[in-house]
Structure 1
Amino acid sequence: MMFAVAMTFIDQTIVSIAAPSIIEELGLSSSGMQWVVNAYLLTLAAFFALGGRLADIFGHRRMMLIGTLIFVVSSVLCGCVPKGDFAQTWLIIFRATQGLGAALMFPAALAVVVAVFPVERRGRALALFFGVTGALTAIGPLLGGWLTGAWTWRAIFWVNVPVALIAVVLTVLARIPNQARREPLDVPGAVLVAAGMGLSVLGLQQASAWGWSSFVTWACIVGGLVLLVLFCVYELRAAHPLIRLQVFRDRAFAADNAVLFFAMLAFVPVFFFASVYAQVSLSASPNQAALYLLYFFIGFAIASQWGGRILDKRGARPAMKLGTLLGAVGFALWANKLTDLSMHDQWPYAALAGAGIGFLLAPASTDAVNRAIGASYGEVTGVTQTVRNYAAAVGMAIFGTILTHVTTNRVVETLESRGLPPEVSQDVARSVAEDVTGHPDGPEPADVSEALRSAEDAVRMDFAEANQWVFYGMAIALGIAFLCSLWHPGTRVTEEPPVPDEGPAPETTAARHKAPVTDLAGEPGPEPGPDP
């Protein structure tokens, strides 16, 4: 299960490092490349809860294998994208199906882990499962940089093939029982949450192209948010909801997810924006950009260990407070140094920002899972993973819009100072902002080409200044997360929540797992009770 889920974490970050190479070869726009990253995050968030429910209906092992197959086929097709006008659409479509495969695979794999471990060993198993797979996020940029530099950016997708084969072989050898239960599927809920997330992110990401004064922009944003509200209302009244929103009645659980939402606005997007900044403004190679991101991960890895210890000794609240505060300061200081255009001078601030995320991520996620209603690990993990991936998609959309808007304005000023008329400067600046390599496609008039050549260093600085706005925005997001951490009551979970005895509680993913069929030694466990 860890081999399978490792792919979903690696693919959240591996594409970011190859963005300039993909843009240059396929002729993608900046917003198009952001959609390539976001299509994966958005479908993973929108269909995660549905994937968990389908795993319950058709069986965890079967759905894990189906999700893995969809994921690896999509990966191969992403790597085989043809050049030409259809390249951007092709890549976005199969990145979306990659996310769908991950959404089917991840909850099924988690359910298998919950089912085969007895209660007394389940906590340690889940800690290993989330700890190792989450840490593999760090491999994404390093692996992506090496593959892009040594071979081709297409290999960042093909590398999933051997990992998937190992996962499938191990799954077959493990002889995992395939438990399936007939139950209704919340189709209206699945449609509402997918449409709501998709519309809201579409409006936010296209705002720079459509304009903030555009009716279509606000129709998408407001319409998406309205659909998400309708989803919440529907789920609270549904007999068999996709997500049991009653879990948010626990103040600590709600605070954990609020912290995760605002922290994830920065955590996944930072890989894309820092990587592109390094390769454009710092003229770094993909390998050098990967090492640049390594500063962030060093801080993240060290702080993750301390964060876990703080959680064990004092609970999640102190770790979240410290992490959000350090993260806000780290991102702000990092933003301030971006215009120095020196990679090595930025490492303390990148490491500090990474340490902030490291301190809070595991404690917030673990505390939320520990507060499961009726020991419903699968259910609350579905909620937290949906929140995390939707926040990452929103962060990509918002910060991408900011980057394009500020870059355009800065480049306009630079070109006008070089003698180009305002209307020409505006058109060229928009083209430069959409092409993050800084070299618009197609022939340019002689005076425009000369102005661009003379302003090349200035344009790189303009792009660095635009990224400053993005990183300051990430610091603000962590500052809001700090305020959310103060809302946490500070209570600690010292034992597994009991399964409620009274009344026929609604059937949930983890309630179905409370009596494992076998333990790791192969000894039979108690048989599951009858269906409600």
Structure 2
Amino acid sequence: MELTTTRLSATQRWTLVVASLAVTLVIASMAALYTALPEIAGATGSTQKELTWIIDGYTLALACLVLPAGALGDRYGRRVVLIVGLCVFAAASSVPLLVNDPTWLIGTRALAGAGAAFVMPSTLSLLTASFPEERRGGAIGLWAGMAGAGAILGIIGSGLLLEYWSWTSIFLGMSLAGLALLAAAFTVPESVDEQRPALDLWGSAAVAAAVGLVVVAAIEAPTRGWLSPVVLGGFLGGAVAAGLFVWIESRVAHPLLDIKLFAERGFGSGTMVVTIQFMVSFGSFMVIVQFLQLILGYRPLISAVVLAPMMVPMVLIAVFIPRFAERFGPRLPMSIGLAVIGISFLTLARLDIHSTYFDLLWSLLIMSAGVGLCTSPATAAIVTGTPVEKHGVAAAVNDAAREIGAAIGIAVAGSILAAGYSHRIAPALPLVPEAARGPVGDSLAATLEITGRIGPAGDQLAELAKISFLHGAGQAAIALGICALAAAAVVAFWAPGRRREPDASAKSDASQVDSAKAPVPN
């Protein structure tokens, strides 16, 4: 009997490096501007709403286009689509170096998100198509660990750049990184679906409309209110477009996404886990970065660096957990991981005005361990639930779940934080000069800017504003924690468990049947 080697070739290892770095860049770009928003507002005159769209325009374009981009990669080649995506990303990221009007910033961020939509599914599908099945879990684990750490790396990188240069250096860094990976992408092998099915244009349009309307509604909810006509109309329109997508996919010969896949327990539960994980993670980052800068008084660089320890348990666990999931099934690590994340948010809700960084750190490490536990098993469950020739679309589903979850998490956390802050600060507004009531009632950052000019007389107002912020942040943390715990309970029953191996007698019977069916030589 010939033994099958599982040693990776140099080409496979290089493909893993390029794919992991590319997905890290895409995720890092989502979070890189968090620490730079105050400087961008001062330099460009952007309003709070424009700042929101500078951040979320990238996420919106990425979420809308990632499924069609995955299908294009399956048909025309995943490496080709990766190269095109990196070209668009690098070019769009360089535009703010020349023009930095808010409208241009929003447009170029959306264009960079479109490029990222071509990059993300290509990275994962290149790995799953080129790696042997027995080594695929480890590759996905490393890829998922790097993706999970991408947001932290983006915040750290932008903090370092802001310490020495202006906010435009962040865009220069993203553009240069995109160009470096573009050169590397030409050296990885091509991968394509040999059947080259026809593109599902109507399905692509319907899913882009569905995702786009839902994400826009989620983005607008914190400023307009969850019951405003625009928000309700967006969610309703998204539901109608999603229904139309399901109707189209059930009738075309070559659907963009086989809807029946969601009935497969691994695929469906894995998609849910990825969505919830990114929802709570990105919702928490928005609150945590403000806590570090506004409550603890850290500079952007320090607030970025102190988040670095989160990467250690996340990456280490994400690399080794695939072996556990392959042996015992994805149910255990996914449900435990979500439960651990939920518990970490309940501990975050206990932070008060006297809390220190170390009070925050242990909650962050717990959260990071939970993310590491559930990320790679969820991604592997999505990919293994689809045939190899459709791994581009499977990767796109994984990526779309990430972006939709991130957008909704930011909206939910932002809405609850704003409502909690406004409710707690409201009794103090009559005591504030009328000209300052709007900024004080709007955010902690605006209040601290005003009280900083007042001097000692503003100390009491500043303390009340910080308490109000922590009240809203605690409510947001509790809401996100409950979502994670509820999802953990669902996954504990829904996700597949350990695979049952056929017993010896069954294997013997199967081999006898195969022998009986084998042709007899003449």
TM bracket, shorter-chain basis:
0.7 to 0.9
Aligned-pair distance for 1:176?
4.5
For 2:407, the aligned partner's letter is: A
- Alpha-carbon separation, structure 1, partners of 2:356 and 2:39: 22
> The residue matched to 2:186 in structure 1 has which SS?
helix
Query: Contact 2:70–2:395 (CA<8 Å) still a contact in 1?
Result: no
Question: What is the CA-CA distance between 1:272 and the residue it aligns to?
Answer: 2.6
Matched ranges for 1:91-490 at <5 A? 91-117=105-131, 122-174=136-188, 176=190, 183-305=197-319, 307-373=321-387, 376-416=390-430, 418=431, 420=433, 427-430=438-441, 432-433=442-443, 436-438=445-447, 455-490=461-496
Cα–Cα, structure 1 residues 346 and 66, in superposed 2: closer, same or farther, change >3 Å? same
Label 1:117 to 1:358 Cα distance change in 2 as closer, same or farther (>3 A).
closer
Give 1:389 deviation, angstroms: 1.3
Which piece of structure 1 moves more, 120-129 or 154-163? 120-129
Partners of 1:237 and 1:293 lie apart in 2 by 48
Matched, 1:491 2:497: yes
Partner AA of 2:322 in structure 1:
G
User: Partners in 2 of 1:110 and 1:48 — Cα distance?
Assistant: 12
* Structure 1 Cα separation of the partners of residues 179 and 44 of structure 2: 29
Rounded Cα–Cα distance in structure 2 between residues aligned with 1:190 and 1:449 = 57
User: What letter is aligned with 1:352?
Assistant: I
CA-CA distance at 1:125 after TM superposition? 4.3
Gaps of 5+ in 2: 1-17, 502-522
Asked if the contact 1:20/1:276 (under 8 Å) is kept, the reply is no
Relative to structure 1, the CA distance from residue 302 to residue 185 in structure 2 (aligned partners, 3 Å threshold; closer, same or farther) is closer
Instruction: Say whether the 8 Å CA contact 1:273–1:467 is kept in structure 2.
Output: yes
Identify which of 66, 70, 77 aligns with 1:48: 66
Q: Measure how far apart 1:340 and its partner are.
A: 3.1
Q: 1:13 to 1:425 in 2, by over 3 A?
A: closer
Q: Distance in 1 between matches of 2:248 and 2:412?
A: 28
Instruction: Point out the more displaced range, 274-283 or 129-138.
Output: 129-138
Contact 2:93–2:172 under 8 Å retained in 1: yes
The 8 Å contact of residues 4 and 105 in structure 1, kept in 2 or not, is answered as yes
* Unaligned residue ranges in structure 1 (runs of 5+): 496-532
Query: CA 1:35 to 1:403, structure 2 compared with 1: closer, same or farther past 3 Å?
Result: farther
Between the aligned partners of 1:212 and 1:450, the Cα distance in structure 2 is 38
Structure 1 residue 22 and structure 2 residue 54: aligned? no
Q: 2:136, 2:323 → 1: CA distance? A: 19
CA distance in 2, matches of 1:223, 1:29: 27
**TM-score, normalization: structure 1?**
0.81
Given that 1:281 and 1:461 are in contact with CA atoms closer than 8 Å, whether structure 2 keeps it comes out as no
- Are 2:32 and 1:32 aligned? no
Call closer, same or farther: CA 1:337–1:80 in 2, change over 3 Å.
farther
Contact 2:314 2:371 in 1 (8 A): yes
Instruction: Say if 1:481 and 1:266 are closer, same or farther in 2 by CA, change over 3 A.
Output: same
Superposed CA RMSD in Å reads 3.1
Letter in 2 for 1:63: V
1:257–1:387 contact (8 Å) kept in structure 2 = yes
Q: 1-side partners of 2:147 and 2:402: how far apart?
A: 15
Q: Does 1:64 align with 2:70?
A: no
CA deviation vs aligned residue, 1:372-399 (integer Å, no higher than 9, x gap): 2467432322212211211111111222
For 1:169 and 1:44, locate their aligned partners in 2 and report how far apart those are by CA, in whole Å.
Answer: 22
Number of aligned positions between the proteins: 482
Provide the C-alpha distance between the structure 2 equivalents of 1:493 and 1:377, rounded to a whole number of angstroms.
22
Going by fraction, where is helix more abundant, 1 or 2?
A: 2
Closer/same/farther in 2, CA of residues 143 and 200 from structure 1, 3 Å limit:
same
Of residues 19-28 and 120-129 in structure 1, the stretch that sits farther from structure 2 once superposed is 120-129
Distance 2:428 2:169 in 1: 38
Displacement after TM superposition at 1:451 (Å): 7.5
Amino acid at match of 2:479: G
Give distance in 2, aligned partners of 1:438 and 1:472: 25
Structure-2-length-normalised TM-score = 0.82
